[in-house]
Amino acid sequence: MKLSKIITACFCFTLLLLNTQCDDDDQNSASPCDQTVIIDNGFYETAESDVYNLIEAVIIDNCLSINIGASGCDGETWSMVLVDSGNVAESSPEQRYLKFVLTNDELCLAVFTQERSFDITPIQVEGSNEIILNIEGFEEPLIYTY
Protein backbone atom coordinates (compact mmCIF):
# COMPACT_ATOMS: atom_id res chain seq x y z
CA MET A 1 0.00 0.00 0.00
CA LYS A 2 2.77 2.46 0.89
CA LEU A 3 4.65 1.58 -2.29
CA SER A 4 1.68 2.53 -4.51
CA LYS A 5 1.37 5.90 -2.70
CA ILE A 6 5.07 6.56 -3.25
CA ILE A 7 4.79 5.67 -6.94
CA THR A 8 1.70 7.89 -7.31
CA ALA A 9 3.45 10.78 -5.55
CA CYS A 10 6.52 10.39 -7.80
CA PHE A 11 4.31 10.32 -10.88
CA CYS A 12 2.45 13.48 -9.81
CA PHE A 13 5.73 15.22 -8.98
CA THR A 14 7.12 14.32 -12.42
CA LEU A 15 4.02 15.69 -14.16
CA LEU A 16 4.24 18.89 -12.12
CA LEU A 17 7.92 19.26 -12.99
CA LEU A 18 7.25 18.79 -16.72
CA ASN A 19 4.45 21.35 -16.61
CA THR A 20 6.77 24.14 -15.43
CA GLN A 21 8.58 24.48 -18.75
CA CYS A 22 9.29 28.04 -19.77
CA ASP A 23 7.36 29.49 -22.72
CA ASP A 24 10.36 31.73 -23.58
CA ASP A 25 12.20 28.68 -24.95
CA ASP A 26 9.42 28.13 -27.46
CA GLN A 27 9.51 31.78 -28.59
CA ASN A 28 13.29 31.81 -29.07
CA SER A 29 13.27 28.68 -31.18
CA ALA A 30 10.63 30.21 -33.47
CA SER A 31 13.00 32.94 -34.71
CA PRO A 32 13.07 33.10 -38.51
CA CYS A 33 16.75 34.12 -38.37
CA ASP A 34 19.63 31.65 -38.75
CA GLN A 35 21.62 32.97 -35.77
CA THR A 36 21.52 35.63 -33.06
CA VAL A 37 23.83 38.61 -32.71
CA ILE A 38 26.50 38.21 -30.02
CA ILE A 39 26.96 41.14 -27.60
CA ASP A 40 30.54 40.94 -26.31
CA ASN A 41 32.95 43.88 -26.23
CA GLY A 42 36.04 41.72 -25.72
CA PHE A 43 35.18 39.55 -28.71
CA TYR A 44 34.32 42.66 -30.75
CA GLU A 45 37.70 44.25 -29.99
CA THR A 46 39.78 41.18 -30.87
CA ALA A 47 37.78 39.50 -33.66
CA GLU A 48 39.32 39.50 -37.12
CA SER A 49 37.49 38.42 -40.22
CA ASP A 50 38.79 36.57 -43.23
CA VAL A 51 38.34 38.34 -46.57
CA TYR A 52 34.85 38.46 -48.05
CA ASN A 53 32.91 40.55 -50.55
CA LEU A 54 29.67 42.04 -49.24
CA ILE A 55 26.96 41.49 -51.83
CA GLU A 56 23.96 42.70 -49.85
CA ALA A 57 22.90 43.57 -46.33
CA VAL A 58 19.24 44.20 -45.55
CA ILE A 59 17.06 44.26 -42.46
CA ILE A 60 13.83 42.31 -42.75
CA ASP A 61 11.67 42.50 -39.62
CA ASN A 62 14.15 41.73 -36.80
CA CYS A 63 16.68 39.88 -38.96
CA LEU A 64 19.80 41.34 -40.51
CA SER A 65 20.35 39.32 -43.68
CA ILE A 66 23.89 39.37 -45.05
CA ASN A 67 24.88 37.92 -48.43
CA ILE A 68 28.63 37.52 -48.99
CA GLY A 69 31.03 36.03 -51.48
CA ALA A 70 34.42 34.52 -50.65
CA SER A 71 36.90 32.03 -52.03
CA GLY A 72 36.74 28.46 -50.87
CA CYS A 73 36.18 24.84 -51.80
CA ASP A 74 32.43 24.81 -51.20
CA GLY A 75 31.76 27.18 -48.28
CA GLU A 76 30.40 24.38 -46.11
CA THR A 77 32.96 24.96 -43.35
CA TRP A 78 32.55 28.74 -43.16
CA SER A 79 31.70 30.15 -39.78
CA MET A 80 29.91 33.51 -39.63
CA VAL A 81 29.02 35.60 -36.60
CA LEU A 82 27.72 39.10 -36.02
CA VAL A 83 29.23 40.74 -32.94
CA ASP A 84 27.98 43.89 -31.20
CA SER A 85 30.42 45.97 -29.15
CA GLY A 86 27.89 46.47 -26.38
CA ASN A 87 28.36 50.24 -26.70
CA VAL A 88 25.48 52.57 -27.51
CA ALA A 89 26.21 56.04 -28.88
CA GLU A 90 23.81 58.47 -27.26
CA SER A 91 22.65 60.24 -30.39
CA SER A 92 19.25 60.60 -31.98
CA PRO A 93 18.63 57.90 -33.00
CA GLU A 94 21.06 55.86 -30.91
CA GLN A 95 23.86 54.01 -32.67
CA ARG A 96 25.34 50.56 -32.18
CA TYR A 97 28.67 49.25 -33.45
CA LEU A 98 28.89 45.78 -34.96
CA LYS A 99 31.36 43.58 -36.76
CA PHE A 100 30.63 40.73 -39.18
CA VAL A 101 33.23 38.00 -38.78
CA LEU A 102 33.85 35.27 -41.36
CA THR A 103 36.16 32.38 -40.53
CA ASN A 104 37.19 30.67 -43.74
CA ASP A 105 39.89 27.99 -43.60
CA GLU A 106 39.19 26.68 -47.11
CA LEU A 107 42.20 26.93 -49.44
CA CYS A 108 40.51 26.71 -52.84
CA LEU A 109 40.30 29.45 -55.47
CA ALA A 110 36.65 29.03 -56.43
CA VAL A 111 34.21 31.73 -55.29
CA PHE A 112 30.99 30.91 -53.48
CA THR A 113 28.22 32.99 -51.97
CA GLN A 114 26.23 32.44 -48.81
CA GLU A 115 23.47 34.28 -47.06
CA ARG A 116 22.97 34.27 -43.30
CA SER A 117 20.48 36.11 -41.17
CA PHE A 118 21.00 37.31 -37.63
CA ASP A 119 18.35 38.05 -35.02
CA ILE A 120 19.10 41.61 -33.91
CA THR A 121 16.36 42.03 -31.31
CA PRO A 122 18.93 41.76 -28.46
CA ILE A 123 20.49 45.07 -29.55
CA GLN A 124 17.28 47.07 -29.39
CA VAL A 125 17.57 50.12 -27.15
CA GLU A 126 14.89 50.48 -24.50
CA GLY A 127 12.77 53.60 -24.99
CA SER A 128 13.66 53.86 -28.66
CA ASN A 129 12.13 52.43 -31.81
CA GLU A 130 15.03 53.05 -34.20
CA ILE A 131 18.81 52.68 -34.08
CA ILE A 132 21.64 53.13 -36.54
CA LEU A 133 23.81 50.06 -37.09
CA ASN A 134 27.43 50.86 -37.93
CA ILE A 135 28.89 47.60 -39.23
CA GLU A 136 32.65 47.59 -39.69
CA GLY A 137 33.58 47.22 -43.36
CA PHE A 138 30.12 48.16 -44.66
CA GLU A 139 30.06 51.39 -46.67
CA GLU A 140 26.78 52.70 -45.30
CA PRO A 141 25.17 52.34 -41.86
CA LEU A 142 21.84 50.52 -41.70
CA ILE A 143 18.75 51.90 -39.98
CA TYR A 144 16.95 49.35 -37.82
CA THR A 145 13.35 50.32 -37.05
CA TYR A 146 11.41 48.19 -34.57
Assigned domain for 19 exists: no
Assigned domain for 20 exists: no
Number of separate domains in the chain? 1
Give pLDDT tens digits for 115-144.
999 999 999 999 999 999 999 999 999 999
Assigned domain for 100 exists: yes
Q: What is the pTM of this model?
A: 0.76
Assigned domain for 61 exists: yes
Q: What is the pLDDT of residue 31?
A: 79
Position 47: which residue type?
A: A
39 has a pLDDT exceeding 80: yes
Residue 42's CATH number? 2.60.40.2370
Give pLDDT tens digits for 45-83.
999 999 999 999 999 999 999 999 999 999 999 999 999
Q: What is the pLDDT of residue 17?
A: 41
Mean pLDDT of the chain: 86
